[in-house]
Amino acid sequence: MKSGPVLGIEGTAWNLSAALFDDDLIKLVSDPYKPVQGGIHPREAAQHHASVITRVIGEVLDDGPKPVAIAFSQGPGLGPCLRIVGTAARALALSLKVPLIGVNHCVAHVEIGRFASGFDDPVVLYASGANTQVLGYLQGRYRIFGETLDIGIGNAIDKFARSQGLPHPGGPEIERLARQGSYFPLPYTVKGMDLAFSGLVSAAKDASAPLEDICYSFQETGFAMCTEVTERALSQTGKNEMILVGGVGANKRLQTMLREMCDDRGAAFSVPIPQYLGDNGAMIAYTGKIMFESGSTLPVELSRVNPSFRADQVEVTWRDEPVVSGNHEESATTRGAEAVVSFTDITATKTRVSKRYRHPELDKRLINERTRAEARLISEARRVGVRTPIIREITHDAIVMERIIGQKLKENLTPETLIETGRMIGRLHSSQIIHGDLTTCNFLVQGNKLWLIDFGLALTSSEIEHRGVDIHVLYQILESTSNDSDNLKKSFMKGYRELMPEADEILTREHEIELRGRYL
């Protein structure tokens, strides 16, 4: 259905912006809130939005065509800001007698990225102040493959910038200073498909190095973490397109890292023009337009804002299911996110691949540490009764082990296999082994037996937190790849409870970890 121009109003946080969008952008007007000091103050930002919203919308509509619908950012975001925008959108829709469309802010970033790139089915890195997520479309929703477990990369940058007396937002100044810096090690925290930045911020604040070196090392570390989990999503899903969206996407170093990673994987990469990267009314108007054309509108009584509105809560009515390639030919080698595995009839050799996007010192350290830790924990897991390959030889970057022939768990997701998966992880966790990367590509099903074949991010820990994160990674993968994820998770917990006495406490922690991903 061809609709006509849609007015979009964005105001989730710092930027009050409105736009009119038809087949292309007609007009975009923004008036950002600029704090006198520190970060965003929600009530001050809302007061700013209230003071400028009439003028901004008026400028967009002045001498333009009448909109056929009003779209607004329904969430996620800062509650006071969202309420200003929601109230204005409802009043305008009633006044003009046109439909109202509530748009998920995160989904809007994705859709304007798809529009700008022309890509059909990309993996998306959404990097902004409060959000750091890796998303992809599957079975009617945008699934979150991985995300920050604490703060977004943009907020991490701003927190560090404030500690050094740099202006807000801190990204541009840190990027400028980083061009003059040299590398030194900072904490690198990747947990399967997820990541965390608090340790990086704390270490950067306490560092005694020159500010240029801290800025350089902060970027090299934080952006490499983002690139690694994005590559893991590309590997897990088999997609061959990738886009970067969100305000932090304007950083040239992050763009370079992602482009190098995609080039090395043979994937297409795109980043929208700057006016589409940060929060903007155009993305709300465009997404509202495609939602309207697919029949997604809101009765006024259902138009309440939602500060914790998740991208994976949105029913995507405007997209068709992508065509999945049926090519599953066996090969003498396979490539994952971190390594290439080559096979003989009886052995599998896992060789970690140097990453062009990572600083050479960081790259070498990760390869050495992960190879040694993996070999040790494969052997320890085997000793406690978990089926793992027998190790035959170890070098600084490679492990030669027994070859296990079987079907990946992601191709055999049944209640029975998930019960056995739960037993296996319960056995690991009760022995204080944390796998660190519980994706369904790292299990092999062989008859009625299950094997765990990859311990690349494993560690030892007795902490509830680490066990909860381990399960959270698995749950995210199940939610992003299966329509039956609730039942599969129940099956997993049935097996897990058999061997893990603290199972219920760990499950509670997993839910707390999930809630941390909400927009705060």
Query: Could you tell me which residues are annotated as the binding site?
Result: 105, 109, 126-130, 158, 171, 175, 251, 279, 333-341, 350
**C-alpha closest to that of 19 among 31, 34, 37:** 31
Q: How far apart are CA 250 and CA 435, in angstroms?
A: 34
> In this structure, what token pair is assigned to residue 177?
């200073």
Amino acid (one-letter) located at 518: R
CB within 8 A of 353, min separation 6: which ones? 335, 338, 339, 340
**C-alpha closest to that of 107 among 81, 76, 62, 130:** 76
Query: Do residues 50 and 88 make contact, with C-beta atoms less than 8 angstroms apart?
Result: no
Cα 121–chain centre separation: 16
Q: Of 31, 121, 437, 454, which is the active-site residue?
A: 437
**C-alpha closest to that of 312 among 455, 133, 45:** 133
Query: Do residues 53 and 81 make contact, with C-beta atoms less than 8 angstroms apart?
Result: no
**Residue for token digits 């500060």?**
307
> In this structure, what token pair is assigned to residue 397?
């970057």
Q: How far apart are CA 441 and CA 452, in angstroms?
A: 9
Query: Do residues 148 and 222 make contact, with C-beta atoms less than 8 angstroms apart?
Result: no
**C-alpha closest to that of 189 among 201, 179, 199:** 199
Q: What angle do CA 230, 286, 312 make, to 5 degrees?
A: 45
Q: How far apart are CA 494 and CA 476, in angstroms?
A: 18
In this structure, the chain runs to a length of 520
Confirm whether 345 is a catalytic residue.
no
- Binding site listing for L-threonylcarbamoyladenylate: 126-130, 158, 171, 175, 251
Angle between helices 105-117 and 281-293 in degrees, nearest 10: 90
Burial class (CB in 10 A: 0-12, 13-18, 19+), 393: exposed
Q: How far apart are CA 60 and CA 89, in angstroms?
A: 14
Give me the active site residues, please.
437
